[in-house]
Amino acid sequence: MTELQHPAFECERRVHLDALNLTVELYRHLKTGAQHIHLASSNPENVFLVALRTVPQDSTGVAHILEHTALCGSAKYPVRDPFFMMTRRSLNTFMNAFTSSDWTAYPFASQNRKDFDNLLDVYLDAVFFASLDPLDFAQEGHRLEFAQSDDPSSALVYKGVVYNEMKGAMSSVPAQLWQKLSSHLFPTATYHHNSGGDPEHIPDLTYDQLQGFYRRHYHPSNAIFMTYGDIPAAEHQAKFEQQALNQFEAQDIHIGVKPEKRLHSPIRVEDAYPLESGEESSQNKTHVVIGWLLGQATDLEAALEAHLVASILLDNSASPLLKALEQTKLGQAPSPLCGLDDSQFEMSFACGLEGCDSEATQAVEALVLETLQEVADQGVDPQVIESSLHQLELSQREVGGDGFPYGLQLIMTALTAATHRGDPVAQLDLDSALVSLREKTADPEFIQQRVRELLLENNHRVTLTLRPDTQMGQRTARAQEEKLAAIKAELSESERQAIIQQATALLARQEQEDDDSLLPQVTRADIQPQMSYTAGSHENLGAYPLRAYGAGTNGLVYQQLVVRLPELSERQQHLLGIYCLCLTEVGHGQLDYLQAQLRQAEQVGSISARVSIRSNGTDPQHTDAYLTLSAKALARNADACAQLMHDTFEQVRFDEHERIAELIAQARARREQSITGNGHALAMQAASAGVSPSAKIAHELGGLEATARLIAIDNGNREPTQLAEFCRELKQLHTLMQRAPRQLLLVGEQEQLDDYRELLGNIWQDSQEHTTDALSLPPVQRQIHQGWLTNTQVNFCAKAYPTVASDHKDAPALTVLAGILRNGFLHRSIREQGGAYGGGASQDNNAGAFRFFSYRDPRLSETLDDFDRSVQWVLDTDIDSNEIEQAILGIISSIDKPASPAGEAKQTFHAELFGRTREKRESFRARVLEVTQADIKAVARHYLQPDAASVAVVAPHGAKQTLQSLGLEIKTL
């Protein structure tokens, strides 16, 4: 019989969780005290994570830079970049590293046992035996270089991957807002500081400080190992012991976060953020946020009560606080910070507005406090409490895995409790706690009392006003220039030479060819012969085609109404994004939007609409297009879910003009905020917009063009007559949708599908014939040369070339080519040498576009040149079979990456909706495995020709002249 644990470990506790169908096992390493939390499941997608408590005392980004540098070589694997090299030698389904505000974690997942063991070996060595080469610190963290690296008479500049990453991250106003609020909510705790690193403070970090932080924090006595899947805990522990733990002695380490000292009275603070706005006015761009510090996140009872209060106040537009924030004229939209944060040692709650006048602080504060007082005095409808409890239950039951692997989602749920020495089992087992919470809410004054205690009577409250400053960016840049000039003036000749020598040595290190045979790898022989496939029924439900899938959904049901898009005018096409947004956010039938929102919260976990426009796999110029209305619900609410979807689509109201204006303003704010976090994808969309209809409309509905049009619509609907006309257009568009052919999708537990079918059949009984012509988009073939100016400190560069769809014989080679370019050239030139946070290439088989990109990039024209140089490199270089195999492994792991059971079913349905049958997907996968060097060079030569390239760049306003010099059309957001 297999031992339940390795002899080097003791078992502290085992608990089976019926709701999650797994067993939580808690172990402790006898010698070092390292904790091992194992989630034993039958799932073959095994997950590993090792976390270290990291509690920085400044904003130099030491924990973040250490996370990067630790992955740059170790004792057993003395190669320059084992982490990146393993990404292409693996069939992983997830591989990354995270730095949070008080922990650093190194997770991966794989369905292949050999691959899992390979990655575990590399990760354990990287974490506990990192090389921490000074040159890696200079590359990943920060360094001084001369602008002309070998010319000491040129200006000094700061370089470094994390330095540029954080310049990009802190370009986001919500990120600045959160950091500034935290600095006041936490005047003494580690959260006062920017754990990722403030670009102004990152250069203060020394290599010796990095090493000291590593020695203290990266020790097994401060480590938490977490695993999930069907590999037994004892097997994991044998690896931990053999490859790491037996080489350490216990240390008296107790790293943790101390409780914050409480404020004795609320405070108001004011700060500024840089607005590089060009011609744009800074009026009504102030943020006003109120934050409260609450209790410890490890107190499950208190945490659930805080979650319930936050949900009651902010869950949907009918919630009292969100309703007040959405309806007020004091700001453009509720703040992106609205909600409860329980990821840190002590929880915090925040709410407020963005898009305010600079003098609105007192009025916003009064609005919030008056609303809270009203809740405390009058209470809330029991129906609202029940709907919030319903949402908590649903989130506990849902089996995830469509973003992170499901096992990693569960591990991350338990991680906060584990790092703060709480109970990870309780964090995962919410069923009994939810029963207790429901009992408490039977007291009609329970919520009123919690609102008083948590918020109204809580003096640890900070009101932050963050106003725009159009000169702040220039002052900051000037201050840095003066600082660097002063440093340069003080340099001795030997120090100047040392800077040059470091740059030379780093370049040589980046150019060196490491012996990658030192690293383990999987091969094509380890690839499963076929991809997994989720089969569904093909049937009719009355007048509607139905696809039904049985899946392990843990008591949830997923329903979709899928409508083929009818022929639409160009104007109507441009309205599709706003139409989808409004469809589920306005009223229906006799219900206004507030009543509709409450109905949704009571009956479903979510309801949303989206448009999908894709090529058919044969010709990128030919597209199919569908509207999908989706909802998910607990099994007991399957009937209510179906009725809600029916009523939403058949009885939607576009007569709530003020509500629609609010939705547009909120959507505008979200889009403007998201640019710096998603700039590379937006740049690629813009560059690809000229290659095919699906690429063009993706840019118009979800890209930078969509943001520009949303701003224009928001600005243009200020008069009642204009707004009324706009709403009339939405209603006309919906009328066309209602006449179009439709079908249904159903996903649920196999044994309940018959009941669900009957429910759907009773509700969707429309006998009307739906035969409108399908949307037909004209061919698109033009080059794009655009520079988009926005409020950012870094660049996002993209190039795109027209290619082919997935069924074409060249599509697999183009897909492999992207991996070859990334692995062999772009990672080194753009990230390591150029200092960008990321860069690469991809073949988009839907759009028929081959795309280059860079992410949070300090360079601009040089990166565009590197894209071109990479093409010449692949044509001139003899690419060996191992490099090709590594690129193929990455593609296959992406194709085979599992989703949640419901996600697998939905993905299969929508792939087949657009003609991507099982046979076609299997064929593409098989053809990828057969790609040769000759194929790669042939497609690079044929498709990646300089005169066919389109270019799009997202850049700061100060880059306008550079963009113009490159011949780019200037667009301003």
851 plus 885 within the same structural domain: yes
740 plus 807 within the same structural domain: no
DSSP state of 152: T
> Is residue 137, in this structure, part of any structural domain at all?
yes
DSSP-derived secondary structure for 381-445? -HHHHHHHHHHHHHHHH----SSS-HHHHHHHHHHHHHHTT--HHHHH--HHHHHHHHHHTTSTT
Alpha-helical regions (H) of 877-965: 881-896, 901-913, 918-929, 933-943, 960-965
> Is residue 270, in this structure, part of any structural domain at all?
no
> Is residue 63, in this structure, part of any structural domain at all?
yes
> Is residue 216, in this structure, part of any structural domain at all?
yes
Amino acid 281: pLDDT: 67
What's the rounded Cα separation, in Å, for the pair 410 and 295? 23
Predicted model pTM: 0.94
Amino acid 631: pLDDT: 97
CATH of the domain at 941: 3.30.830.10
> Is residue 364, in this structure, part of any structural domain at all?
no
Amino acid 769: pLDDT: 66
- For 33, list phi and psi in degrees, rounded to 5: 85, 5
Last residue of a domain, one of 763, 790, 817: 763
Last residue of a domain, one of 736, 763, 790: 763
- Nearest CA among 142, 183, 178 for reference residue 160: 142
Tell me the average confidence (pLDDT) per consecutive run of 10 residues in the chain, 973 residues long. Answer: 80 92 95 97 96 97 97 94 91 95 97 96 97 96 90 92 92 94 96 96 97 97 97 97 96 92 96 77 89 95 94 94 96 95 96 95 98 96 91 85 87 94 91 88 93 97 96 91 94 94 94 88 90 91 92 92 96 96 97 96 96 92 96 96 97 96 93 91 97 96 94 87 95 95 95 93 78 89 96 95 97 98 96 94 96 96 97 96 94 92 94 94 96 98 96 95 96 92
How many Cβ atoms are within 10 Å of 512's Cβ, its own excluded? 9
499 plus 551 within the same structural domain: no
> Is residue 114, in this structure, part of any structural domain at all?
yes
854 plus 711 within the same structural domain: no
718 plus 813 within the same structural domain: no
32 plus 117 within the same structural domain: yes
How many Cβ atoms are within 10 Å of 949's Cβ, its own excluded? 21
Mean pLDDT (the chain, rounded): 94
Position 439, amino acid: E
List pLDDT tens digits, range 323-361.
999 999 999 999 999 999 999 999 999 999 999 999 999
Q: How far apart are the first and last CA of the chain?
A: 65
> Is residue 420, in this structure, part of any structural domain at all?
no
CB 76 within 8 A of CB 252: no
931 plus 834 within the same structural domain: yes
> Is residue 798, in this structure, part of any structural domain at all?
yes
List pLDDT tens digits, range 5-28.
899 999 999 999 988 889 999 999
What's the rounded Cα separation, in Å, for the pair 944 and 563? 37
Q: How many domains is the chain partitioned into structurally?
A: 3
**For 350, left (φ over 0), alpha (ψ -120 to 50), or beta?**
beta
196 plus 79 within the same structural domain: yes
Last residue of a domain, one of 713, 733, 763: 763
759 plus 789 within the same structural domain: no
* Two tokens, residue 85: 């090299």
505 plus 587 within the same structural domain: no
How many Cβ atoms are within 10 Å of 404's Cβ, its own excluded? 18
905 plus 944 within the same structural domain: yes
Helices 382-397 and 593-603: crossing angle in degrees, nearest 10, is 50
598 plus 513 within the same structural domain: no
What's the rounded Cα separation, in Å, for the pair 25 and 12? 8
Amino acid 278: pLDDT: 55
Q: Which domain holds residue 750?
A: 543-657+690-763
* Two tokens, residue 28: 């402790």
